[in-house]
Structure 1
Amino acid sequence: MRVLVTGAAGRVGSWVAEELANSGHDVRGMVRPGGRSVPEPLRSRIQVMEAALTDTRAIERAVAGADVVVHLAAQIVMADTPVDTYVDINTGGTLRLLEAAVRQDPPVRRFVHASTDNTYGPVHPQAAVITEDHPQTAGDYYSTSKLLAERLVENYHRIHGLEYSILRLGSVIAPDEAEPLFRREWVRAFFAMHADAGDRSNLWQLFRQCDDPVGELDAAVPAPDGNPALAVTGPSGTPWSIHFTDVRDVVDGVVLALEHPAAANQTFNMLGPRTTTFAEGAEVMARRRGAEVLEVRMPMTLAFELSSQKAARLLGYEPRWTFDDTLSSAPAVIGAG
């Protein structure tokens, strides 16, 4: 099978491209001109093509001859990008890929589109556990651009008969990214990034509830030695939580979406086995890395959990990597790289 993977130099794309190449597929990796390079030795095993998501002609060349498109490329952090440019990259880029997919002869057989759990509105969750049937309440630029892209994918099925599978991914981490998580320096940087971004943050509605989240954290936990792990809770004691998804579970989900007949024209939450509370993450850091654990109460709460039972039922999706497992695998993965 000839598969185009967009974002092939990224966290998810490089892992997906490698798995598909290992499985014998003819893989073409699309990367942003001047951006990150596909790592070796993967670069020598796939065809790499440069194409910006804003470049129609380059996208047509990248899609040409593909049986399946796996669209993973997106700009997540908005930074100083103008709003129209940002939406054109994420939403317009999807439109250009869809047009190229249906206009070639023969047309692309299936379009696998990576979306995000942010489209459910993580600051104000609609239920204790979110399924694919719950309303999407995009409340920031990133989730809005991805939600619009979802509608395009669905409409191209209605208009052109293009098979699709939409995957709403949780917070994806690779093994080598697990080491700093839940430690004070990481929590402080997380707060600072979102606070500084203002309404360009995907969690701006959460961080506007506190005038100075970094100052609140510094007051609660003055810079101690040893970078302790923080069990962060909200004002009522509810633990903060994030539904991390190990990139290896994402790869399994993408392969199922690409190959499984029941994935056709369906949308799935693709997530790790369960939500990780900051209390659990801190405990893992204490047990595996000897970190001191400190409890911190903040004036707002981030607690958001989703279900991947639909993917389990229809596709046999079985996520394996808890945060504990991801962290424990990190030295071996790093050492092998």
Structure 2
Amino acid sequence: MRVLITGVTGRIGANVARRLAQSGHAVRGFVVPGDSQAGKLPPFGLELVEGTLASRTDVQAAVDGQEAILHLAAAFQAGGPFTPEQYFDLNVKGTFHILEAAQRLGAQLRHLIFASTDATMDKYPPDGLPDPITETSLPPVATDWYGYTKVLGEHLVNRYVRAEGLRATVVRFCMVWGAGEVLDWPQFRLAYFLDRFRKRADAAGRATHARLAALDDGRERLVIACDAHGRPWKKHCVEVRDLVDGLERALGNPATFGKLYQMAGPLPFTWDEAVPLIAHALRLPFSRVDLAGIAPTHYAFDLTAARRDFGYAPRVDIRAMVEEAVRYKTSQSDALIPTRI
């Protein structure tokens, strides 16, 4: 198929572009003018089209002649800072432009996949979530601009599916780790929590900061974060390789049309599983600490729908993520195109 990928220079886009090109698809990438990351793309034989999602003309030129679209591009926190107006222009108006251009392709368009996010939902109640999250168990109630504009994007896609019969699918990605990134994640580190609790004036916050400060001996240290009852935090993330496999399986699959799916790794992990692995890999000390006065991270995703409808079969668990990250950091692997060059 002739496939347009927006966000083609990102941690997901570059890797899925390489996979689709290797599988025989004709891949076109949509890039902003002067994108500093475009240099990692030419060896894969991609066609690059410059433009901005905020321009209807640019989007139409990129979409013309395509048979499928992976709309991965978005303004989000790590790429910013962005103003509310920029979030709206890129994530809402930009998605509208993509959908309008896709609709004009008519029967030529075989499939559009819209990348959304678990940031559309509130996953942090005071005691965590006891049951895995399904596609419908939590309402999309985000108020930060990234999550909120993605909610609007989902609604736009749903409108074009119902009103225009567009062959489109929404996929919600959980937190995504690219090449080597699991080793550097701040929430495994003492310094992150020290900074987060430093300015707390409430009693629970001050007590937690005191416990954290007692661990600080001037060295980099990892922490097994636990809730106030001593239960280790739990999170469900995904490594790029699993997303690439999943997107390739979903692309062009009629069973996915008009539906919403979650995509995550094979299993959630707990901090007492992840931190010792990373500490061993980096030769860093670690400690266990109960964090009172903060909503814990404690959730998992139910992947039943994706497994059933398009054979989603993630394989990269936390141990495999860490092992691959070490290989990447020691220049022993090119399994993933890095997020930044």
Does TM-score exceed 0.5, indicating one fold? yes
Q: How does 1:1-150 map to 2 (within 5 A)?
A: 1-40=1-40, 42-43=42-43, 45-77=45-77, 80-104=81-105, 106-124=107-125, 128-139=131-142, 140-150=144-154
Moved more, 122-131 or 106-115: 122-131
* TM-superposition CA deviations, 1:118-156 (whole Å, max 9, x none): 222122366521011213232322211111100100110
* TM-superposition CA deviations, 1:168-196 (whole Å, max 9, x none): 11110013212223776x4534885x899
Displacement of 1:256 in angstroms is 1.6
The answer to whether structure 1 residue 153 and structure 2 residue 157 are counterparts is: yes
Supply the distance in 1 between the matched residues of 2:206 and 2:109 (Cα, whole angstroms).
49
* 1:202 equivalent in structure 2: none
* TM-superposition CA deviations, 1:44-84 (whole Å, max 9, x none): 51001112121111111111111011011111118543212
2:14, 2:41 within 8 Å by CA — same for their partners in 1?
no
* 1:240 equivalent in structure 2: 233
The SS at the match of 1:11 is coil
1:120, 1:134 within 8 Å by CA — same for their partners in 2?
no
Aligned partner of 2:284: which letter? A
Percent identity (aligned): 29
Change in 2 beyond 3 A, CA 1:109/1:260: closer
Task: Identify the match of residue 307 of structure 1 among 284, 297, 302.
Answer: 302
Supply the distance in 1 between the matched residues of 2:210 and 2:298 (Cα, whole angstroms).
19
Supply the distance in 2 between the matched residues of 1:138 and 1:127 (Cα, whole angstroms).
19
The SS at the match of 2:137 is coil
- Greater RCO (CA < 8 Å, at least 6 residues apart): 2
The SS at the match of 1:259 is coil
Question: Which segments of 5 or more consecutive residues in structure 1 lack a partner in the other structure?
Answer: 197-207
What is the aligned length? 323
* 1:292 equivalent in structure 2: 285
Superposition RMSD in Å: 2.8
Supply the distance in 2 between the matched residues of 1:171 and 1:74 (Cα, whole angstroms).
15
The answer to whether structure 1 residue 164 and structure 2 residue 168 are counterparts is: yes
1:101, 1:107 within 8 Å by CA — same for their partners in 2?
no
The SS at the match of 1:66 is coil
Change in 2 beyond 3 A, CA 1:105/1:164: closer
Change in 2 beyond 3 A, CA 1:60/1:325: same
Supply the distance in 1 between the matched residues of 2:213 and 2:287 (Cα, whole angstroms).
13
Aligned partner of 2:134: which letter? T
1:18, 1:42 within 8 Å by CA — same for their partners in 2?
no
Question: Which segments of 5 or more consecutive residues in structure 2 lack a partner in the other structure?
Answer: 335-341
* TM-superposition CA deviations, 1:257-288 (whole Å, max 9, x none): 21323222211110001112211111212444
* 2:332 equivalent in structure 1: 335
Task: Identify the match of residue 254 of structure 2 among 241, 244, 261.
Answer: 261
Aligned partner of 1:13: which letter? G
Displacement of 1:320 in angstroms is 0.3
Ranges of 4+ aligned residues in structure 1 off by more than 4 Å: 41-44, 189-192, 208-218
Supply the distance in 2 between the matched residues of 1:130 and 1:93 (Cα, whole angstroms).
29
The SS at the match of 1:178 is helix
Moved more, 259-268 or 32-41: 32-41
TM-score, normalised to structure 1's length? 0.86
The answer to whether structure 1 residue 221 and structure 2 residue 215 are counterparts is: yes
* TM-superposition CA deviations, 1:100-130 (whole Å, max 9, x none): 1112355522110111112221223665210
Change in 2 beyond 3 A, CA 1:18/1:252: same
